[in-house]
Structure 1
Amino acid sequence: MQVTVIAVGHRMPGWIENGFAEYAKRMPPEWHFNIRELKPVERAGNRSAETVMASEATKIRAVIPKNARLIALDEHGKDLTTVQMAAYMKNWLQDGRDIVFVIGGADGLDAALKKQADMLVRLSSLTLPHGMVRVLLTEQLYRASTILQNHPYHRS
């Protein structure tokens, strides 16, 4: 089974890449964890935020594996505890579908793409840089995996 983070944005600072890589390498091998970076659409000329998000949504849809469970990160999404995230991951892993987490671009995610998602999740009430979201999401997925394995990394 594949667990993928699709992130609009590229050329992240070294500390972001290092943080992401650190938690990604800790993932259980059966998760086949990876990231797919997509170049953002430029908001040049008279392109509105909606036009940019729609264009980015097209690029995102093109790389989502067929029949994958789509989890979109959104400020209005479900606020989960880490233990709740682990419970969701357990159920999702048992159904055998690939899992895709989507991090939108600077303007967010297209409304139609959010409607297409199986679930919207809010990572934080704070406004975070997109690169930081990659690191935080990956750490939380790693932490969820340790909860599922009864590993002492997570302390309640």
Structure 2
Amino acid sequence: MKIRILTIGQKMPAWVMTGVDDYLKRIQPFVQTQIIEIPMAKRGKNDSEADILKYRQIEGDAILAQLKGNELLIALEVAGREFSTEKLATTMQDWMQAGQDVVLAIGGPDGHSQAVRQAAAWHWSLSKLTLPHPLVRVMLIEQLYRAMTINHNHPYHRAG
């Protein structure tokens, strides 16, 4: 099993890179994980709804172009389903047992295109709160790492 995180946007603040890099190093012994940054579509100051749809389409096409035929696509969206870290751990165990490679897609500031939504096997929400995209990267990789530590009886995760 491999995990690839496709994320719209580049040039993250230093605190994001520090956090992501730390958890990315920690997770590697458990599961090969990679983060791929995709450039955000250029936006204007007074964009119309049509412009926003165009940006979503450009970014969505870029996400879909990165997919390999054997990967399970999961779109991160505020309207997706939420679940506990323990449920994530069991889900990741299922992926590993099935040998399933997984792509987690973080959309741009305007969300995912309809094409990405339709291609996704399911939609996952880290929170019903609207989170800044840089923070989503850190939270996502930390939760993946935490789930893997649960699966490997590592002391990082302490319930209760």
* TM value normalised by structure 2: 0.92
Distance 2:83 2:154 in 1: 20
For structure 2, the 5+ residue unaligned runs are: none
2:130 is matched by which residue type in structure 1? T
Preserved contact between residue 5 and residue 36 of structure 2 (Cα < 8 Å)? yes
Tell me which residue corresponds to 2:146.
143
2:30 counterpart of 1:27: no
2:122 counterpart of 1:119: yes
Distance 1:151 1:30 in 2: 11
2:110 counterpart of 1:103: no
**Residues 86-107 of structure 1, C-alpha deviation per residue, up to 9 Å, x if partnerless?**
1111101111121110000010
Kindly report which structure 2 residues correspond to 1:32-51, keeping only aligned pairs within 5 A, or say none: 32-44=32-44, 48-51=51-54
For structure 1, the 5+ residue unaligned runs are: none
Preserved contact between residue 82 and residue 143 of structure 1 (Cα < 8 Å)? yes
State the shift of 1:30 in Å. 5.3
Q: How many residues of Structure 1 are paired with residues of Structure 2 in the alignment?
A: 156
SS at match of 1:29: coil
CA RMSD of aligned residues (A): 1.3
Tell me which residue corresponds to 2:82.
79
Preserved contact between residue 65 and residue 98 of structure 1 (Cα < 8 Å)? no
Runs of 4+ residues deviating >6 angstroms: none
